[in-house]
A and B are shown apart, each in its own frame.
Chain A
Amino acid sequence: MQYKSIKIGLFVLLALVQLYIPANMIWQQQKTITQGKAYRFETAPVDPNDPFRGKYITLRFTAEDYSPEDWDAIPSRGKINVLLGEDENGLAKVIGLQSSEPEAGVDYFKAEIGYKNKSRQIVSLYFPFDKFYMEESKAYEAELAHRRARRDSSQLTYALVMVRDGETALEDVIIDGVSIKEVVESVQD
């Protein structure tokens, strides 16, 4: 009997952990969305298909190629803190990379270092918000719309990302001032 109650106790514990993890994911994202600062990241195009998570469009960003002043000091692997600022057009730009924790008041997030190009003195980064999920029927159209917009240099395409305390939440992808969902719906209609 005692064995059984220990087992029940452990199972309840496991069940709570299993519930806590997704709940905490929601909680963290909600905090970032409601309290974070909005940044607009200009996008560059690409696309695959993840078997577990339905359809999405894959995003690459122009800011992912960054040439730091201290190129040699940047490690060639692992994660690094990306410090954020804005350019004259109000688009997000990387203002620095550092391994240590940034000081308070600076917006940042962690990105994966992809590779370092010595001749161009560039560090290629992988930003963590590179997937934007769409309803299955819309993802393909969205990809096309995104690609078309990227070719048309008069249209500005960007991802709206909330940033807070090193956490990020990808809110929307905007093509020429309109949410990509609306762009796709207007094409489908």
Chain B
Amino acid sequence: MANDILKALPELVEAGLISTQKAEDIRLYYEAKKQPAQNRLLVIFSILGAILVGLGIILIIAHNWDDLSRTIKSVFAFIPLLIGQAACAYVILRKPENTAWKEGASAFLIFGVGASISLISQIYNIEGDLGGFMLLWMLLIAPLMYLMKSSISSLLFLAGITYYATIVGYDQYPSENAWPYWGLLLVGLPYYLNLIKTQPEGNFTRFHHWLYPLSLTICLGIWSDGLEEWMLPAYIAMFGCLYIIGNLPYFKSLKGINNGYLIIGALGSMSLLITLSFDWFWEDLSRMTEGLGYFYTVQEFWLLAALSVFGLGLLLWSKRRGNWREIRPLEIVFLLVLLVFLLGFQAPLASRILISIIILGTGLFTILEGARKDHLGILNYGLLIITSLIVARFFDQEISFVIRGIMFVVVGISFFTANYLMIKKRKQDAV
């Protein structure tokens, strides 16, 4: 776009629309903007280069050269680590402000640390479960993001601890608890918060906006101790929290795709609500009633309670200026689901119907919001919510074909009518 504007400048000057001075100012403005773009490329390539070289070294090491003696192999094990440390030391002493150097050297050191531990484990056939290895690796690189002020360190750290949590919490048998994940998550948090403060629109900041909610979504399930039924409302509560965060003023000001919290929160909430609208969940739940008496012994219960309280607090705080009229349905859905869930132990059918009503309500509110804001995207999103509800009901045996058929026809017509009316209204407004 910048190029198009620059090309148009002579024409605009000639037509007398802007002065020569203004044209020059505009040219200088884009010139200044171009500089960071080149820097950005350099940063990307230095990180990519460092990661590729680092991974390459790990692969070469993984060959496990049998002809070399144990001592020589052990010495080799330290080489990538020492190179990485030397590069980082150089950056701290000589190039503290150079982003490309900072990020590249940090990425290399991160892989250097991993390479050296894994080579030693290999040379000595040391007991090494992958989980323990990842944990040690992440602990050893955790301070780098702060010392080097390196965002790639923070991102790799976050990816690493997430991987660690999935191995230990899901894959491994016998599975262990992955509590260290939550501690490590807190270790990385101050860096992220500082990043939001200092570079609210930076590229690295945007990656963090996606990776944090993604990591939480992947890892929340680690809390499950076998009672999956309790995990579903807990997940909905978490998606609710993410959604509320995504609606905070700072996140709201981001362009759509950069707001990972809002997107993950919305998609997560909706897909789980649809899941809850099926009967199997509530049938399973109603069979668990005998457990209701000692629910406080279930660790999933406490997770659900904590997330709900946190979400409610977050909601009250975000609306502390009395801006309740701006509230969006998905911001309170998790609280409704919580009540419906508790009701479900006694009255599964009522709960199921209430969930469908919640979905319908969310859809309708979204459609109204779309209409009010004259936003086709929001309008169709609302229609999509209702459509997914109806598609889900398509699989319900107890509803007759005729009723299901009528529901489909009605939604089809509303799609058409709503869009038609809005576009027509726009045209009228334009005239």
B380 at the interface (CB under 8 A from A): no
Instruction: Report Cα–Cα, A79/B130, bound state, in Å.
Output: 17
Stretch of A86-94, A97-105, A131-139 with 4 or more beta carbons under 8 angstroms from chain B = A131-139
Q: CB < 8 Å: which of A132, A136, A170 contacts B63? A: A136
- The reply to whether B81 and A22 form a contact with Cβ atoms under 8 Å apart is yes
The 8 Å CB contact of A11, one of B120, B130, B147, is: B147
Name B17-65 residues within 8 Å CB distance of A.
58, 61-65
Cβ-based interface call for B214 (8 A): no
Q: How far apart are the CA atoms of A107 and B8 in the complex, in Å?
A: 84
Kindly provide the distance from the CB of B412 to the nearest chain A CB, expressed in whole angstroms: 48
Give chain A nearest CB distance to B85 CB in angstroms.
5
Whether, in the assembled complex, A25 has its beta carbon less than 8 Å from a beta carbon of chain B, the answer is yes
Q: Is the interface of B mostly helix, strand, loop or mixed?
A: helix
Which residue, of B92, B125, B147, has the highest number of chain A Cβ atoms within 10 A?
B125
Q: Annotate B190-234 by CB proximity to A: 1 below 8 A, 0 otherwise.
A: 000000000000000000000000000000000000000000000
Kindly supply a per-residue 1/0 record for chain B positions 115-150, scoring 1 wherever the CB is within 8 Å of any chain A CB and 0 otherwise: 011101111111110100100100010011001000
Q: A136 near B143 (CB under 8 angstroms)?
A: no
Q: Are B85 and A52 closer than 8 Å at their CB atoms?
A: no
Residue B286 is within 8 A (CB to CB) of chain A in the complex: no
- A contact face: mostly helix, strand, loop, or mixed: mixed
Q: How many residues of B contact A (CB 8 A)?
A: 40
Q: For residue B54, give the distance in angstroms from its CB to the closest CB of chain A.
A: 12
Q: Is the CB of A15 within 8 A of B143?
A: no
Query: What are some 16 contacts across the A-B interface (CB < 8 A)?
Result: A11-B88, A15-B85, A15-B88, A22-B77, A52-B114, A52-B133, A53-B118, A54-B61, A129-B125, A131-B125, A132-B125, A133-B122, A135-B66, A136-B64, A169-B125, A181-B66
Given contacts A7-B92, A55-B62, A134-B66, 11 further A-B contacts (CB under 8 A): A10-B143, A14-B147, A22-B77, A22-B120, A26-B74, A52-B130, A53-B62, A133-B64, A136-B62, A138-B66, A169-B125
